[in-house]
């Protein structure tokens, strides 16, 4: 047992240094402040670092073919009332009762290995003791104080500014990825005085009118994109639109197209490029390594801001606090969410030094953004990532997954492409490797088969998306990949490959 005890050094310094000075209580003993009414941002807890390890002989454990009878009954009752379920639930209406670490349990008694993290959210596993205690602590003390400062908010704001790269130090807190993106759009408009935006084909940024206007539109999105929002093709190494003679993707030609597009299709008043560093919803679409460095230069030369939407990719999922750090690129503003609170709804829009004052001009606050429980969840999650070395663990797992997926690609003819960074992974299924034709039917079959074998995960048509918790160890990761490998093999046999 490796006990993990707070306090984090920096928070202690804040509370014993800055607060005491601000309150003119320089000589007050530290213990009085620590035990004072709610001053201490997080409860002191001790837990076994191996709290989430599982016995791979007994997980997954399927006692009934899922979705089992209780799942079906409860989902049918819920679905009488709630409309608008995701395709994922419609495909596999299981009803979950609890989660612990890297496992989930359904109401029929089945235990699953979790390769979904909710939906890219619970990277530290379900109900991490430190995060759960932190939320409970504030749930009993103070649940909402609008955007007044609270000790836990102060500590979170300073911590967030400290861990993010460069001068990304102007933070505003929100309660969903979508609202953080909306704030980012308004921030970029306010900072530049311009009102047009460019994003990329297949992007996803949320479901409000502004965020949906930066994303792929479908009939379900409503009528039209909002005026001033434009989409351009994004370099995709597996499906290059513009390639050199040797077939490799030519990033320069994409940028030349952007130049021409801005001249021909817009007023030239572009406030920002709004992009996901790796496209999650689209199927873990990775950019070529030179894309973001070149786009950064392109934006700088034209006074365009770069708003990186890291709601999905940020806070450790790819093995860095921000995915953009992999390419050494600093955005002007960034949105974070999902893993930020490990399941508690807390998100942020963060601006760099030179534009952060714009937040004061866009009426940035909300009812729930930065509430004490949310701040506690995020602060505890950041401390866990640091204390347990989880950025390094995500990178280590990423190397394992990359090797394993490459082997699977050699063995399975329907795997066209494999990709990923850290614990953000994708396997693209095709009918023929030469044509790269999407294999939707195979995608659905693999998804259902693996779920039935006890892998809870995320479907995306012909691209299998995986988002295992970053607290996994290699043996647990291997178990999940074994299940997927088996499910692909069975699918191939049934489809005659």
**In whole angstroms, how close is the CB of 276 to ligand PLP at the nearest point?**
5
Contact assessment for residue 377 and residue 385, using Cβ atoms and an 8 Å cutoff:
no
- Written as one string, the DSSP assignment of 195-206 is -EEEEETT----
Residue 248 vs residues 69, 106, 285, 326: alpha-carbon distances, Å: 51, 46, 16, 21
Q: Is 425 in the site for ligand PLP (CB under 6 A)?
A: no
Are the C-beta atoms of 456 and 114 separated by less than 8 Å?
yes
Minimal distance, residue 284 CB to ligand PLP, in Å: 11
- Note whether 204 binds ligand PLP by CB under 6 A: yes
Q: Which is nearer to ligand PLP, 204 or 298 (CB)?
A: 204
Handedness of CA 492, 494, 495, 497 (dihedral sign): positive
> Contact between 177 and ligand PLP (CB under 6 A)?
yes
Nearer to ligand PLP, 177 or 370 (CB): 177
Interface residue with ligand PLP, options 262, 308, 312, 483 (CB under 6 A): 312
Give whichever of 182 and 485 is closer to ligand PLP, judged by the CB atom: 182
Residues 332-371 that bind ligand PLP (CB under 6 A): 337
Q: What sign has the CA pseudo-torsion 206, 209, 214, 215?
A: positive
Q: Could you tell me how many residues of this chain bind ligand PLP (CB under 6 A)?
A: 14
Interaction of residue 182 with ligand PLP, rule CB under 6 A: no
Nearer CB in complex with ligand PLP: 349/380: 349
Using CB under 6 A as the binding rule, whether residue 309 contacts ligand PLP is answered as yes
What is the dihedral angle through the alpha carbons of 389, 391, 397, 401, rounded to the nearest 10 degrees? 180
Task: Note the residue count of the chain.
Answer: 497
Q: How far apart are CA 345 and CA 323, in angstroms?
A: 21
Of positions 311, 329, 333, 472, contacts ligand PLP by CB under 6 A: 311
User: Which residues 279-308 are close enough to bind ligand PLP by CB under 6 A?
Assistant: 280-281
> How far is Cα 215 from Cα 210, in angstroms, rounded to an integer?
9
The least distance separating ligand PLP from the CB of residue 56, rounded to whole angstroms, comes to 30
Pick the stretch among 110-118, 190-198, 309-317, 455-463 that binds ligand PLP (CB under 6 A): 309-317
Tell me the β-bridge partners of 99: 104
Nearest residue (CB) to ligand PLP, 196 versus 276: 276
As beta bridge partners, residue 106 has: 96
Contacts by residues 298-303 (CB-CB < 8 Å, ≥ 24 positions apart): 298/255, 298/258, 298/259, 299/273, 302/262, 302/270, 303/192
Residue 178 touches ligand PLP, criterion: CB under 6 A:
yes
State how far the Cα of 34 lies from the Cα of 346, in Å rounded to an integer: 25
CB-count burial class (<10 Å; 0-12, 13-18, 19+) for 44:
exposed
Choose one: 80-88, 273-281, 382-390, 447-455; the region binding ligand PLP (CB under 6 A): 273-281
* Smallest distance from ligand PLP to CB 225, Å: 17
CB of 475 to ligand PLP, least distance (A): 29
**Taking the CA atoms of the chain, what radius of gyration do you get in angstroms?**
23
Closest distance of CB 450 from ligand PLP, Å? 21
Stretch that binds ligand PLP, among 14-22, 122-130, 203-211, 390-398 (CB under 6 A): 203-211
Indicate the DSSP class of residue 137.
Answer: H
**Is 54:101 a contact under the CB 8 Å cutoff?**
yes
CA angle 14, 19, 25 (to 5 degrees): 135
What minimum distance in Å lies between the beta carbon of 176 and ligand PLP? 4
Piece of 39-47, 91-99, 170-178, 390-398 that binds ligand PLP (CB under 6 A): 170-178
Closest approach of Cβ 2 to ligand PLP, in Å? 33
Q: Any contact of residue 196 with ligand PLP (CB under 6 A)?
A: no
> Binding residue for ligand PLP (CB under 6 A) from 128, 130, 205, 412?
205
Query: Between residues 281 and 298, which has the closer beta carbon with respect to ligand PLP?
Result: 281
Ranked by CB distance to ligand PLP, the top (closest) residue is: 177
Q: How far apart are CA 172 and CA 356, in angstroms?
A: 9
Of the candidates 447, 445, 436, the residue with the CA atom closest to the CA atom of residue 492 = 445
Residue 463 Cβ, how far from ligand PLP at the closest point, in Å?
A: 15
Token readout for 361 is 């001009």
Which lies closer to ligand PLP via its Cβ, residue 8 or residue 199? 199
DSSP 270-326: EEEEEE-SSBTTTT-BPPPTTHHHHHHHHHHHHT-EEEEEETTTTTTTTSSSSGGGG
Instruction: Locate 482 and state its tokens.
Output: 């074994």
Minimal distance in Å, beta carbon 345 to ligand PLP?
7
**Can you tell me which of 206, 420, 422, 469 binds ligand PLP, judged by CB under 6 A?**
206
Residues that bind ligand PLP (CB under 6 A): 176-178, 181, 204-206, 276, 280-281, 309, 311-312, 337
């Amino acid at each position: 047992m490796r006990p993990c005890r707070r306090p984090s050094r920096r928070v202690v310094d804040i509370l014993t240094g800055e607060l005491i000075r601000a309150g003119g209580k320089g000589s007050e003993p530290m213990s009085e402040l620590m035990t004072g009414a709610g001053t201490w941002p997080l409860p002191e807890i001790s837990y076994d670092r191996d709290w989430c390890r599982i016995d791979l002989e007994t997980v997954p454990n399927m006692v009934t073919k899922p979705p089992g009878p209780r799942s079906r009954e409860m989902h049918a009752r819920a679905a009488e009332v709630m409309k608008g379920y995701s395709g994922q639930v419609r495909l596999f209406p299981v009803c979950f009762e609890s989660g612990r670490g890297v496992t989930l349990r359904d109401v029929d008694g089945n235990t699953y290995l979790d390769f979904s993290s909710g939906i890219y959210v619970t990277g530290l596993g379900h109900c991490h003791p430190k995060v759960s205690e932190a939320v409970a602590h504030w749930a009993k003390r103070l649940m909402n104080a609008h955007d007044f400062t609270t000790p836990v908010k102060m500590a979170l704001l300073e911590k967030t500014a400290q861990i993010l790269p460069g001068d990304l130090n102007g933070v505003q807190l929100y309660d969903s990825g979508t609202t953080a993106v909306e704030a980012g759009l308004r921030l970029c408009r306010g900072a530049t005085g311009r009102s047009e935006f460019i994003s990329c084909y297949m992007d996803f940024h949320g479901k409000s009118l502004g965020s949906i206007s930066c994303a792929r539109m479908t009939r379900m999105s409503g009528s039209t994109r909002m005026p001033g929002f434009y989409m351009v093709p994004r370099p995709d190494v597996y499906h290059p639109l513009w390639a050199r003679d040797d077939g490799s993707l030519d990033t320069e030609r994409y940028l030349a197209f952007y130049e021409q597009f801005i001249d021909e299709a817009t007023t030239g008043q572009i406030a920002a490029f709004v992009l996901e560093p790796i496209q999650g919803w689209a199927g873990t679409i990775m950019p070529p390594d030179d894309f973001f460095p070149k786009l950064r230069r392109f934006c700088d030369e034209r006074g365009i801001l770069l708003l990186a939407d890291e709601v999905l990719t940020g806070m450790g999922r790819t093995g860095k606090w921000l995915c953009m750090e992999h390419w050494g690129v600093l955005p002007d503003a960034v949105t974070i969410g999902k893993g930020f609170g490990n399941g508690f709804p807390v998100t942020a829009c963060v601006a760099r030094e030179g534009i952060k004052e714009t937040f004061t001009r866009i009426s940035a606050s909300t009812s729930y953004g930065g509430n004490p429980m949310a701040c506690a969840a995020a602060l505890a999650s950041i401390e866990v990532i640091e204390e347990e070395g989880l950025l390094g663990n995500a990178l280590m797992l990423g190397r394992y997954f990359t090797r394993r997926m490459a082997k699977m690609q050699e063995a399975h003819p329907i795997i066209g492409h494999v990709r990923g960074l850290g614990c953000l992974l994708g396997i693209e299924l095709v009918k023929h490797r030469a044509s790269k034709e999407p294999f939707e039917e195979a995608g659905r079959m693999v998804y259902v088969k693996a779920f039935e074998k006890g892998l809870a995960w995320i479907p995306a048509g012909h691209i299998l998306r995986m988002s295992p918790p970053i607290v996994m160890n290699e043996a647990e990761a291997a178990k999940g990949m074994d299940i997927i490998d088996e499910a692909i093999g069975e699918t191939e046999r049934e489809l005659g490959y």
